[in-house]
Amino acid sequence: MKLLHIDSSALGQNSVSRQLTAQIVAKWSASHPGTGVDYLDLVATPPSHLSADSLGFRMPPGAPEPSDTQRRENAVSEALVTQFLAADVLVVGAPLYNFAIPSQLKAWIDRVVQAGRTFKYTEKGPQGLAGRKIVIVASTRGGVYSTSEGGRAMEHQESYLQTVFGFLGITDIRFVRAEGLAMGEGHRAKAIAAAELDIRALVTEAANEPSAARAA
């Protein structure tokens, strides 16, 4: 089984999502011996935002020969989409930044959402080509959004990740959430402890489910 571990928090050692993804990966690996782990730190090595040079994978057949810069950018996109497609399990650290995900994580998504590789359009509409994966998102937030309709409508982090991974055909998407992290020490400690309990339950549950067995 291959697991792709992705972090996108800019807060380094102080990041809660980095702490949670590390725990998820450690527990997953312990309950699935032989799991191969690839690690992508999108803050240390971010793919550049899409530009005329990095949109090669969207170029129609017969487009002009790519420049050296375009070839280099195409290789980055190819490496990222190949790594994504090879993974059975993705563990994604996704903090809430300005009501959405960090731009480095968005830049990675922009590289792996590729027509013909991870989705295609049919006469019936779009079809995801990257199914049969489990995605576990460690979601961290300064405020609390999950407990009210108004809060849920304001966040474009979990809802966006659910949509974009769903678009790629992935149906098994799980969230471990620590929210209210900026609402005082007591709240923060409780939120982290609750997320850590969720990790234990989630990994045990996932280890015994058919989707995990399929991925294995």
Ligand X SMILES: Cc1cc2nc3c(=O)[nH]c(=O)nc-3n(C[C@H](O)[C@H](O)[C@H](O)COP(=O)(O)O)c2cc1C
Q: Taking the complex as a whole, how short is the minimal distance between the CB of residue 193 and ligand X, in angstroms?
A: 15
Binding of residue 54 to ligand X (CB under 6 A): no
- Is the CB of 135 or the CB of 191 nearer to ligand X? 191
Question: Would the CA dihedral through 26, 28, 33, 34 be positive or negative?
Answer: negative
Q: Taking the complex as a whole, how short is the minimal distance between the CB of residue 162 and ligand X, in angstroms?
A: 18
Point out which span in 16-24, 36-44, 76-84, 190-198 binds ligand X (CB under 6 A).
16-24
> Which letter does DSSP use for residue 139 in this model?
E
Are 105 and 8 in contact by the 8 Å Cβ rule? The answer is yes
- 61 token code pair: 């057949």
- Is the CB of 41 or the CB of 53 nearer to ligand X? 41
User: Among 4, 6, 16, 173, which residue interacts with ligand X (rule: CB under 6 A)?
Assistant: 16
Distances from the Cα of 100 to the Cαs of 60, 157, 158, 187, 192, in angstroms? 31, 4, 8, 22, 20
Q: Taking the complex as a whole, how short is the minimal distance between the CB of residue 160 and ligand X, in angstroms?
A: 13
Q: Taking the complex as a whole, how short is the minimal distance between the CB of residue 151 and ligand X, in angstroms?
A: 9
Binding of residue 11 to ligand X (CB under 6 A): yes
User: Among 134, 181, 203, 206, which residue interacts with ligand X (rule: CB under 6 A)?
Assistant: 181
Residues 6+ apart with CB under 8 A from 201: none
Size of the residue set binding ligand X (CB under 6 A): 17
What is the edge-to-edge ordering of all strands in the sheet holding 172-178?
Answer: 36-41, 2-7, 89-95, 134-140, 172-178
Buried b (16+ CB within 10 A) or exposed e, 75-113: eebeebbeebbebbbbbbbbbbbeeebbbbbbbbbbbbb
d(CA 169, CA 124) in angstroms, rounded, equals 15
Q: Taking the complex as a whole, how short is the minimal distance between the CB of residue 95 and ligand X, in angstroms?
A: 3
Q: Taking the complex as a whole, how short is the minimal distance between the CB of residue 140 and ligand X, in angstroms?
A: 4
Binding of residue 15 to ligand X (CB under 6 A): yes
**Which 89-148 residues touch ligand X, going by CB under 6 A?**
95-99, 140-143
- Residues lying near ligand X in the complex (CB under 6 A): 9, 11, 15-18, 95-99, 140-143, 181-182
